[in-house]
Amino acid sequence: MLAIMIGVTACATPAMQSNVSETVEQQILDAARSGSQGYLIVEGLTTEVGQRLAGTEAEARARDWTVEKFKEIGLQNVRVEPFTIPGWERGVETATIVSPYPQQMVVTALGGSVATPFGGVTAEIAYFPTFEDLVSAPAGGLDGKIVFISGLMDKAPDGAGYGPANQKRRSGASEAAKRGAAAVVIRSVGTDSHRFPHTGQMRYAPDLPKIPIAALSAPDANQLERMFEREHSVTMALNIQPRASGDMPSGNVIGEIVGTERPDEIVLISGHLDSWDLGTGAIDDGAGIGISAGAAQVLIEAGLKPKRTIRVVAYGAEEVGLLGGFAYRDLHKEDLINHVLATESDFGSTPAYEVLLGVTEGQEVIKAAADALGLPMGERGTNGGPDIGPIAALGVPTMRFQQDGTDYFDLHHTPDDTLDKIDPDDMAENVAAFALMAWLAANAETDFRSDTGN
Amino acid sequence: MLAIMIGVTACATPAMQSNVSETVEQQILDAARSGSQGYLIVEGLTTEVGQRLAGTEAEARARDWTVEKFKEIGLQNVRVEPFTIPGWERGVETATIVSPYPQQMVVTALGGSVATPFGGVTAEIAYFPTFEDLVSAPAGGLDGKIVFISGLMDKAPDGAGYGPANQKRRSGASEAAKRGAAAVVIRSVGTDSHRFPHTGQMRYAPDLPKIPIAALSAPDANQLERMFEREHSVTMALNIQPRASGDMPSGNVIGEIVGTERPDEIVLISGHLDSWDLGTGAIDDGAGIGISAGAAQVLIEAGLKPKRTIRVVAYGAEEVGLLGGFAYRDLHKEDLINHVLATESDFGSTPAYEVLLGVTEGQEVIKAAADALGLPMGERGTNGGPDIGPIAALGVPTMRFQQDGTDYFDLHHTPDDTLDKIDPDDMAENVAAFALMAWLAANAETDFRSDTGN
Ligand SMILES: [Zn+2]
Ligand SMILES: [Zn+2]
Ligand SMILES: [Zn+2]
Ligand SMILES: [Zn+2]
């Protein structure tokens, strides 16, 4: 109730409701909604760079591209904050049913997976309908087998199905290795029924053998399940040859609209620059780059000068473990107290349907933005987005526009994540939200922290 | 007007309107609509065989599978009519933009294409927005270039967009070779926006150099067009290594319900057994196999004995030039006069929205089937389907259930042509149509020919 009361009170404060303020706010919304700033940025990035896997020369080209773009749209203090990551690159990948029904399947290695032995591994498949079935299987008994973990993912606007479905991707290799398996194939973590595999990062538990793990497309996982309905024994030849490429460069690209009154205080808006290597990273997360940089562009083009600094961050190496987010945290550790609000767009290009709070004070400012955008406040809290998580954990206030991700996992981490999936009007609406929120936060009296003045 | 009068008259003939006849007709429709005969056949074929490219050992396994299935459902005289085709198999295929924006594209060789030189060809791209633009280009001027032919395909229930869009696939290589080009990439002939290329057979004109030709997915074609909006010069490295594999075996699989009174007279229902190699050939044309064999199965299970023979044909090697259809024509040349009606399903699994006539007499029988199914008669004529064309040209009467192909070319000839795209209820409705039509034609007095008794 307190939160609601604050919100109601906020709507009546003179600062928020003055005609001047309303005019500027409306000007921002109109400029964003009638413009193409965000769409043109994601179009440029996905066309002129394409895929940009973390640590590769393609990600380096993406940084160069972004530095140029940030300068071109008028951002100040444009720079790269470099860091080093463990490189990983994809190689050959094939999955062949040897018996009883010989045929090829569509497969892709999960990020971080080791390779199969050269030439691949051929073994009988042990089928587990769900990840839980594997976890509850006894120790041993899978010696030398290829484990197949299936299990469907539910669709939801907030992506609630992703966490549960993702357990097999994150932990499937080690759970299978613990029981003696030679390799793992999973049903892709996704909600589509197209013949695309979904990649994504996996993790090895310490002190267990590292075995290769790959994802089958949904139609291939269905096919394999039908084979098990017919036969008890199915043999697969799996050959994936990714390689760890040692220390490789990554980096966060930063640009700013320097504040006129409190330039040291930062409102941070962001997306991540790296993508998986299969698609061109349009919805994940070229959209987030376009939304955050496009929002800054709208303010610059309107000649608006925020009191605080608005900082745009294009994080590197998000996909492989939020490495850009952690690098930012480490480099800016001493300065995090000056970060007044931070957010990220990393859930595609569909507009928000609600606004989430990760602040204890100043909620009225965020609610004013939500009101102006016609968005309700959500019940859940937020840590601001994947790359914001590390600084949110150290006290940086956050908020998030909860974009509608109902269809996000149809495309997520597949070859089909391409520009044609993005609606320019959707991008404009997201840019409007980011521009308005950044503007209001940069000019608000509050610093969104409960310990202000302590 | 005459045709319409005949139809109206037919509805009043005692044979068609008797209660006994109506009961049998309804029994057939009910059995098909409540059954899964067709769906289970396409499920089995696509699961237990998978892709079955013409001339390969996979197509041979598909013939074996079909012989067993035909016997299992109770067809008589089950046999393979073998023939030989020029084999062709896919190899490595990559398309890389070298400059100005280095990246991989998704590409597939068109059926029948020659290979690039070993290691590929790297050349500047000459961009033609449409096939017509290429055809109207002057001789020469494309020396050593890779020609890119774009152009969109319209969606239509009857697939009317396919013919025009397909010109670049059929004739693009020779039109480009005529002007000195080294290779061709086309925008896939299809109506989707997924990152799947559409393969399909191409043709070389005699007396012109044979140059390699491949298809880009729609998102990649869009990407290439955006590159040309930005830069005048785009360079691609294209490497496709398909090979002609010499004379290879194919064959048509045949099974019958032998007629009780006129066993030498044939009502032919069919689909084609081969598929392209990228998907599992569910909609093209596992569905047609399921629909035609499933229709026969419905009649057999109901214990119905047709007066004429109902022949089910699973044609081989349709995709590579209707070779099964031509082989059937040649082998049965002397017997075509006894083929009273022939049809094929080769347009996916969606039910029909109209019925097309390729007969001059006996239209009332086909209209009676259409009436019972609630389908209107279409205006256009038909040759009965691709594999029926060769015998229709020699006078065999035909009809066709015009299935709704609005979305057919989203999946056609792509890796995404898999079983999950087929609705079992749709299959049942198609089976109902084929079973009823076969039954009525097999028991009709007419032989559907205008020259009867001459
Ligand atoms: Zn992301
Ligand atoms: Zn991602
Ligand atoms: Zn076909
Ligand atoms: Zn076809």
Enumerate the active-site residues of A.
Answer: 318
Contact in structure between B191 and B407 (CB atoms under 8 Å): yes
Interface check A328 vs B, CB under 8 A: no
What is the distance in angstroms between the CA of the first residue and the CA of the last residue of chain A? 25
How does residue A6 score in pLDDT terms, banded at 50, 70 and 90?
A: very low
- Report the run of H or E that residue B405 belongs to, with start and end: none
The CA distance from B311 to B332, in Å, is: 13
- pLDDT above 70 for A274: yes
Interface check A96 vs B, CB under 8 A: no
Interface check A94 vs B, CB under 8 A: no
CATH of A2-88+246-443, one of 3.40.50.2030, 3.40.630.10, 3.40.190.10, 3.40.50.2000: 3.40.630.10
Please, what's the b/e burial string for B431-449 (b: 16 or more CB within 10 A of its CB; e: otherwise)?
bbbbbbbbbbbbbbebbbb
- State what percent of residues in chain A have pLDDT above 90: 93
Question: A104: which chain B residues are within 8 Å (Cβ-Cβ)?
Answer: 50-51
Interface check A222 vs B, CB under 8 A: yes
* Backbone torsions φ then ψ of A308, nearest 5 degrees: -90, 165
Closest Cα of chain B to A103: distance in Å? Answer: 6
The CA distance from B314 to B78, in Å, is: 11
Of the candidates B58, B100, B195, the beta carbon closest to that of A416 is on B195
Q: How is residue A68 written in tokens? A: 């140029």
* Backbone torsions φ then ψ of B255, nearest 5 degrees: -145, 155
Q: Note whether A230 contacts B47, CB cutoff 8 Å.
A: yes
pLDDT at A450: 85
- pLDDT above 50 for A11: no
Q: Note whether A418 contacts B50, CB cutoff 8 Å.
A: no
Single out the residue of B21, B2, B64 nearest to residue B273, CA to CA. Answer: B64
DSSP label at residue B93: E
Interface check A280 vs B, CB under 8 A: yes
Q: How far is the CA of B209 from the centre of ligand 1 (A)?
A: 48
**Burial class, A84, CB count within 10 angstroms (exposed 0-12 / middle 13-18 / buried 19+):** middle
Where in chain A are the domains?
A: 2-88+246-443, 92-241
Q: How far is the CA of A319 from the centre of ligand 2 (A)?
A: 5
Residue of B43, B45, B416 to mutate for A, most A C-beta atoms under 10 A: B416
Q: Note whether B418 contacts A58, CB cutoff 8 Å.
A: no
Cβ neighbours of residue B30 closer than 8 Å, sequence gap 6 or more: none
Single out the residue of A248, A332, A319 nearest to residue A79, CA to CA. Answer: A332
Contact in structure between A417 and B223 (CB atoms under 8 Å): no
Q: Note whether B104 contacts A420, CB cutoff 8 Å.
A: no
Interface check B279 vs A, CB under 8 A: yes
Question: A196: which chain B residues are within 8 Å (Cβ-Cβ)?
Answer: 194-195
Average pLDDT over residues A441-451: 93
Single out the residue of B231, B235, B219 nearest to residue B107, CA to CA. Answer: B219
The CA distance from B261 to B309, in Å, is: 9
pLDDT at A186: 98
The 3-class SS string of B355-391 reads EEEECCCCHHHHHHHHHHHCCCEEEEECCCCCCCHHH
Interface check A223 vs B, CB under 8 A: yes
Question: A103: which chain B residues are within 8 Å (Cβ-Cβ)?
Answer: 49-51, 58, 280
Q: 3-class SS at A184?
A: strand
Interface check A49 vs B, CB under 8 A: yes
Q: Note whether B222 contacts A419, CB cutoff 8 Å.
A: yes
Domain B91-241, architecture per CATH: 3-Layer(bba) Sandwich (3.50)
Q: Note whether B104 contacts A50, CB cutoff 8 Å.
A: yes
Question: ipTM score of the complex?
Answer: 0.93
**Could you tell me which CATH class the domain B2-87+246-443 is placed in?**
alpha beta
pLDDT at A16: 45
- pLDDT above 90 for A442: yes
Q: How far is the CA of A142 from the centre of ligand 4 (A)?
A: 42
pLDDT means per 10 residues, chain B with 454 residues, are: 33 44 89 98 98 98 98 98 98 98 98 97 98 95 97 96 96 97 98 98 97 98 98 96 97 98 98 98 98 98 98 98 98 98 98 97 97 97 98 98 98 98 98 98 95 50
Single out the residue of A190, A426, A50, A396 nearest to residue B100, CA to CA. Answer: A50
The CA distance from B119 to B375, in Å, is: 54
Interface check B48 vs A, CB under 8 A: yes
- pLDDT above 60 for A51: yes
How do residues A402-438 score in pLDDT, each as one tens digit?
999 999 999 999 999 999 999 999 999 999 999 999 9
Single out the residue of A265, A272, A263 nearest to residue A292, CA to CA. Answer: A272
Contact in structure between A358 and A378 (CB atoms under 8 Å): no
pLDDT at A453: 44
pLDDT at B20: 52
How does residue A3 score in pLDDT terms, banded at 50, 70 and 90?
A: very low
Residue B318: active-site member: yes
- pLDDT above 50 for A158: yes
Q: How far is the CA of B221 from the centre of ligand 3 (A)?
A: 24
Q: 3-class SS at B431?
A: helix
Of the candidates A61, A106, A279, the beta carbon closest to that of B415 is on A106
Single out the residue of A388, A387, A339, A341 nearest to residue A362, CA to CA. Answer: A341
Exactly one of B25, B93, B175, B318 is catalytic; which is it?
A: B318
Please report how the helices A2-12 and A363-373 are oriented relative to each other, as an axis angle in degrees rounded to 10: 70
* Shortest CA distance from B228: residue in chain A: A47
Closest Cα of chain A to B190: distance in Å? Answer: 15
* Shortest CA distance from A47: residue in chain B: B223
Same topology, domains B2-87+246-443 and B91-241? Answer is no
Q: How far is the CA of A415 from the centre of ligand 1 (A)?
A: 14
Cβ neighbours of residue B112 closer than 8 Å, sequence gap 6 or more: B88, B201, B202, B203, B204, B320
Please give the CATH number for the structural domain made up of A92-241: 3.50.30.30
Q: Note whether B418 contacts A226, CB cutoff 8 Å.
A: no
Tell me, what amino acid is at B287?
A: A
The CA distance from A132 to A293, in Å, is: 42
